Amino acid sequence: MIEQQLGRCVASWYPGATGVTGAAKLSGGASQETWSFDIVHAGGTSGAILRRAPPGYGASPGRAAGLDAEATLMQLAHDAGLPSPRVMHVLVPEDELGTGFIMQRIEGETIARKILRDEEFDKARPLLARQLGKVVAGIHGLPAAKLPKLREMTATREIADLEREYRSFGWPRPVFELALRWLRARDPGPSKEVTLVHGDFRNGNLIIGPDGVRAVLDWELAHFGDPMEDLGWICVNSWRFGEIDKPVGGFGSREDLFAGYEETGRKADPERVMFWEVMGTLRWGIMCCGMMQRFRSGPDHSMERAMIGRRSSETEIDLLRLLAPRGK
């Protein structure tokens, strides 16, 4: 069914396309659907990816940028020379495929455990933190005049939003209460510089090859805000997958991340990055709780959502390690 729909869609905008083949729904992505397929044409085939909202899915109010904005941001990043897939087509109602877009398929690995352990990536791992510093600096430097309309987030507003969402669950968690109190006491106030923030810059949303970073994916949470937020988010322990002594994604150091960032002429602020690492750890814990709530209420009782939901307890341990380290 979906191959026929994709075939009709692709024929309307891809010169010489005769159909599609190999359509397969990919695992991963608890809020959006991802399909891989090949466009068939006279010259052979071209790999493509469909990213769309699943039936019955409603975006988180005030947080999701929207798939049209995601497509615009990815194309702007691609045009600026950043590692990003080329957007081939934004879906229209006539396509009968819902809301989303089709992009170029980039070969590589997104599964963090493989990136952190497989021999194929041995040479890439020591390079990744510095590479990612440069990449995220490029994202923060995208010209504001070309960007789509996005929400603006300050630390103060983020704390208030997280507290409101957490309390809506009716699920008291003392460690979350401690983290909220710590964040309120150390709120740095509005950032002196406001830039585009990717919002979910981490393992799982990066395509990695033996040569390093090949693409940044999933701009769903993009917004305007403090650029240090992205640097703090990639340091959250949940994205290290057991390699807790390598803060940046389980493969690198904060120093290498900051060095790559500053090679572009931008400036990292380690104290603000630490604040956002705590904020990010709490945010992920609350997002995990939200996934569990959505699993319970449906309509899509995805086991993936349930599995993410149970990880909220891991974030409590991470928060205690950050806020009350041993020996202090």
Give residue 59's pLDDT band: very low, low, confident or very high (50, 70, 90): very low
The answer to whether residue 56 scores a pLDDT higher than 50 is: yes
Structural domains of the chain, ranges and CATH numbers in brackets: 22-104 (3.30.200), 112-323 (3.90.1200.10)
Mean pLDDT over each residue of the chain, to the nearest integer? 92
CB 279 within 8 A of CB 158: yes
Q: What is the pLDDT of residue 290?
A: 85
pTM of this structure: 0.91
The answer to whether residue 76 scores a pLDDT higher than 50 is: yes
Mean pLDDT of 154-178: 95
Q: Which residue has the higher pLDDT, 300 or 122?
A: 122
Mean pLDDT of 45-65: 77
Q: What is the pLDDT of residue 117?
A: 97
Mean pLDDT of 220-238: 97
Give residue 327's pLDDT band: very low, low, confident or very high (50, 70, 90): low
Mean pLDDT of 30-59: 85
The answer to whether residue 73 scores a pLDDT higher than 60 is: yes
Q: pLDDT of 179-215, one tens digit each?
A: 999 999 999 988 999 999 999 999 999 999 999 999 9
d(CA 136, CA 198): 8
Q: What is the pLDDT of residue 294?
A: 72
The answer to whether residue 16 scores a pLDDT higher than 50 is: yes
The answer to whether residue 293 scores a pLDDT higher than 80 is: no
Q: What is the pLDDT of residue 94?
A: 95
The answer to whether residue 68 scores a pLDDT higher than 90 is: yes
Q: pLDDT of 304-325, one tens digit each?
A: 767 777 788 899 999 999 998 8
Tokens read off for 94? 């006539």
Q: Which residue has the higher pLDDT, 170 or 120?
A: 120
Mean pLDDT of 117-145: 97
Q: What is the pLDDT of residue 58?
A: 47
Give residue 145's pLDDT band: very low, low, confident or very high (50, 70, 90): very high
